[in-house]
Structure 1
């Protein structure tokens, strides 16, 4: 549909402006340099202009942008004349370019039209209209493609995490059914209700994790002050069942009495994803250690475990990628969607922090840091001395 509309607009421009060729470019500035992408064209193949010859197109657009209004330029000896000659022999005599630029939402576009017989057309207002219409079509196409990509990605990873959500939902249903059948004393009902509630929280965390992972515009909401100790207590408490099943213990070190300004739900989710991985991939009868430390201008939370270890080489760098699971993890047949560490990195980076991983003979250590600007220090008299 958009492609057909684009052809109609170019045909009208060709007739109205008497063009032999035309280009619509999207451009942006970065570090003082201009970058140009040819997004639509008339009688000129656009693809090569986005390749080795893009630098010349950038130079032409830069020169044209020096004049604030729509205008015509003589392009004798300009790089673009040589580009056109190489791309289409019929254009090698082009010496005039009609130029105008417009903004659509947050993107900038420019139009370059080459009149037939190099005659000035005095139709710059029409050229500006063509530029605006083509730019709006190009902008719409980009947004539709981005939406398609997002929907495809979301569909893929909804399937990937489906078994996790299904597991939590089945557990909730089973526990509630157990309660309803009775007979249970008050203590037994409380235990089952607590277990069901934890499964509800787990399902919510999985859904929240998926939402963060597939949202290309993810940004932090309102922050609140919370102690690191509180975050770690909640995270470890949620792992009690798996810890008991695999006979694994968690040892939480001193948290320095620190409070941090974070989006609690998301920051807790990031730390929980690291701890969950440590629990899933630890050997039985081992201890997971969580240590909070101060390193230069950052507060670092480190989670170490003894387990299957990390992949080597470039594959290790991919553990933070969207949807990636290493071969070792797959062979263990452990449930996982490949979005936990990706989400963790996304959240921590949004908080201004960093994530990284080390490995030594003692095991694997995942680190998540926050800048000290997010730390709320207690009064000196109340700090715990080490």
Structure 2
């Protein structure tokens, strides 16, 4: 029993123990609580009643295991200055699992040797089965009422759901009717479109055939015109220089020079036009071989004199010797020659000429760039620079330029499956021409 006395009640432990010894053999459930409502003793039957262990009882406050009404009653009794014994009262205990136990309980004050109330002895005379049954019945009635209320709520929700479903069904039916009407319209439209497509396909086939015929006729015309123009120009290019050698009059020699320059320009224009026509033709194809790009550039550069118009020409070939591409050697040399010649021709009025040729590899393509420090270009010139017969400005309008060189370069690069473009910071700040070429298959293997 001593193990059930709480530490904070040790000053009155003897009195409480004396009371406990008196009632130890009574066949009732007994427990004692101090003035703070802490349980300091409980008989073994209390453990069974509340389904707790002795150690748990030792830490329980009685007010925490009673329902609200019983807790208020016990609190009032403990707070009385001179408590008196009480007849049996209905006290309802709450177990840990929430179950409520109705009991008939008497209160007996515990008086110390100084005649002071130091606690209360509770004697449970028995369980009030009738009250317990009433509580259970009340709980079942409350549960039934809640269930009925929940059922009513469910029925109301079901009715609202049924109404909503009917509305949704009506809306779906209406939408289905609209969709059926739309489907009929779409089917009719599809049939009309199918008819139009068939008619368009026939017209496209007819126009394509007509265009192919026109292109073939154009190619034949250009070729015939080129030959017809070259035929009379050939004797002129041969005879005019001979006439110049036999002429001593400076005025006549000057006029012959003008004639020779114009004839040469016409011959170049015809040759370039024929070349461009051939490159535009779908029947024209190039022969691609494995080519070392460094060697191709060096061969083109070696044909250029180191001094032009009293200007020193410095060309840096920064391409690695191992870079192997697939290209038509003659065609690529023409592209390189054209771009290098333009860089020299359209250099700054004064100062030397510096050209940098470089290349790097991205994915399966080599990107070649030719950078100069010449006249540069504005945005409008960059946009039109590859157009046929386009000359960027008045400085390029001379008999040395046909306006077809860059167009021919563009067609050659496109025949290789690449692309070509130009960039410039602005007028007087130089230009960079770049183009792509396929890498050799050997490198991939």
* TM-score, scaled to structure 1: 0.47
Bigger Rg, which one: 2
* TM-score, scaled to structure 2: 0.41
Q: Would you tell me which structure has more helix in proportion to its own residues?
A: 2
Compare relative contact order (CA 8 Å, sep 6+) and give the higher one, 1 or 2. 1
